[in-house]
Chains A and B, each alone.
Chain A
Amino acid sequence: MAEVLVHVDHADGAVRKPTLELLTLARRLGEPVALALGAGARETTAVLAEHGATRVLTHEASEYADYLVVPKVDALRAAVAAVSPAAVLVPSSAEGKEIAARLAIRIGSGIVTDAIDVEAGAEGPIVTQSVFAGSYTTKSRVSLGTPVITVKPNSAPVEPAPAAGTVAELAVGFSDSTRGTRITERIPRRSSGRPELTEAAIVVAGGRGVNGDFTVLEALADALGAAVGASRAAVDADWYPHAQQVGQTGKSVSPQLYIAAGISGAIQHRAGMQTAKTIVAINKDPEAPIFDLADHGVIGDLFEIVPALTAEARARKG
């Protein structure tokens, strides 16, 4: 059976959820072979095997933390040569897309980014994408070379599927070009303790209407176990960190539930949340375009509605 290479996204050995979703998709195409790089790579193997990896290739070297993007491209290139996979799947983070882009050039293959679904097809994987701010859905396929596909978070369920997970060390050679861009300093983001924005099942997002104080939204988010997002207007006003921005130039989210409070629903915002399963909008302007998307909309003051909802949610949870 054909093998499918999956690039593992992990933090010091803790595998991030989107990678497990990739393993689900990879199993539709063949036998998943996972590639884990950098410090902690060997600690990823048990989780990867539990979710379907028949083999896990690892390589630990300081280059992965010290230089931007290219060391990972070198490793993927080596893995492609060693495995001859039917496809390469990479998580669709900003870095993941850059890694995939360079790999595609290096191996002379086509690339499809931001897949929301991947299925087996007679002529190779069929990739579903959501384009033009979510107004169109396309199906595409790579017609030259080994398909390189980046997949958005929340595109497939995480499924336990125990497999052998045979671990092997991958041989990777670095060149001078590998060390072109040095990472001279790294300031880790402080964790809010809430779920990752792109991985969360529920996102509570606020915009200009929140008027500087996100605590009402944070209280609702905590009652629902949700992540907190923000519009660009709220981020530009310094009310919330840019890492939490939803939209074209922020994160693209696809949760089960998206609650937009005090957000008008500009096209650039919708681009990042339109594929949410259920959308709730709270806005005092009945004409706000966000209501066009809403499954349930409430016209009114978010400072009245959100606290009431939070209290109800807490009460029902008991």
Chain B
Amino acid sequence: MTLKIVVSVKYVPDAAGDRTFADDFTVDRDEADGLLSELDEYAVEQALRIAEAVEDAEVTVVTVGPEDARAALGKALSMGADNAIHVEDDDLHGTDAIGTSLVLAKAIEKTGFDLVVCGMASTDGAMGVLPAMLAERLDVPQVTLLSEVSVHDGAVIGRRDGDAASERLQAALPAIVSVTDQSGEARYPSFKGIMAAKKKPVETLDLDDLGLEGDELGLAGSYTVVEAAAERPARTAGVIVKDEGEGGKQLAEFLAGQKFI
């Protein structure tokens, strides 16, 4: 039986560029170059490793995002995923996490799954809530923030390193997992992988295809409103001194002046 793995990936503005807001306080996706969120590369990697460990598996990548987001799917396909789904609709502009989780849940349900693999957080919104929301919506176990993951006999097993303890988790499939950047370095696409990716199927879906109405989604349907966004005032330039043997002492004086010592 084929193990059907869906990887949920996000296309994000490059953190190395200048990220900013558009006039409607949505993330400006025109200003900065976009790419597959680095944290979702770990999700693709773990999905591929799980697929390689079983006899028969299919890895589908899915993204919800504008036209450019196809680039994120392309990267995942060149790493080795089998096929992709791109949910794209003008009415999605401004959709918040609640709405995105609804759209993703519908798309994932439509394609079918034994295992959904997510990243730990997107590198732009960085909420780290979507995997839990998907589990809630799809009513399947949530096995999240894993630094180690594997699938055995219809169950997913993983290690979650929390603040107070490191936990071993176990759940029966179907399930939703998310993996951290401790789970193992992501592979680079090979030349062969890049060439092969061009021929892999990418299905495009809009809200109609998912049986969703535009007015529940987008900026108008959002459950949250951003009322203001201000660039943080640049930190006032500090004092930078070169250590000529007294650097430690001067630093102590600075800290004493601030009442830290």
Contacts and interface: CB of A to CB of B under 8 A. Distances in A.
Given A249-B180, A305-B251, A138 B226 contact: yes
B1 interface: no
Given A138-B25, A143-B223, A224-B260, A105 B247 contact: no
Contacts of A267: 15-16
B98 interface: yes
A137 interface: yes
Contacts of A114: 126-127
Interface residues of A, number: 90
A189 B247 contact: no
A157 interface: no
Nearest to B229: A138
Interface in A271-285: 271, 274, 278-280, 282
Given A105-B98, A105-B137, A296 B165 contact: no
Interface in B127-142: 127-133, 135-137, 139-142
Interface string B212-242: 0000000000111111111110011011111
A298 B143 contact: no
Interface in B33-78: 39
Contact of A94 (B123, B128, B143): B128
A45 to B, nearest CB: 21
Contacts of A101: 97, 127, 129-130, 132-133, 136
A111 B247 contact: no
A136 B125 CA distance: 12
Contacts of B111: none
Contacts of B222: 110, 143
A61 interface: no
Interface stretch (A34-42, A163-171, A206-214, A306-314): A306-314
B227 A141 contact: yes
Most buried by A among B133, B228, B260: B260
A99 B144 CA distance: 12
Interface in B81-101: 96-98, 101
A100 interface: yes
Contact of A298 (B126, B163, B170, B247): B247
A257 B260 contact: yes
Contacts of A304: 243, 245, 247-248
Given A182-B171, A316-B256, A68 B142 contact: yes
Contact of A305 (B180, B225, B248, B260): B248
Interface stretch (A21-29, A49-57, A81-89, A127-135): A127-135
A312 B249 contact: yes
Instruction: Across the A-B interface, give the 10 residue pairs with the lowest CB-CB distance, nearest first.
Output: A308-B248, A300-B243, A110-B223, A180-B141, A312-B252, A101-B129, A185-B168, A98-B132, A297-B240, A295-B238
Interface of B: 15-16, 19-21, 25, 39, 96-98, 101, 120-121, 123-124, 126-133, 135-137, 139-145, 147, 160-172, 175, 180-182, 222-232, 235-236, 238-243, 245, 247-252, 254-256, 258, 260-261
Given A102-B136, A257-B258, 12 more contacts: A100-B129, A101-B97, A102-B132, A111-B223, A126-B227, A135-B231, A181-B169, A296-B241, A298-B241, A299-B247, A305-B243, A312-B249
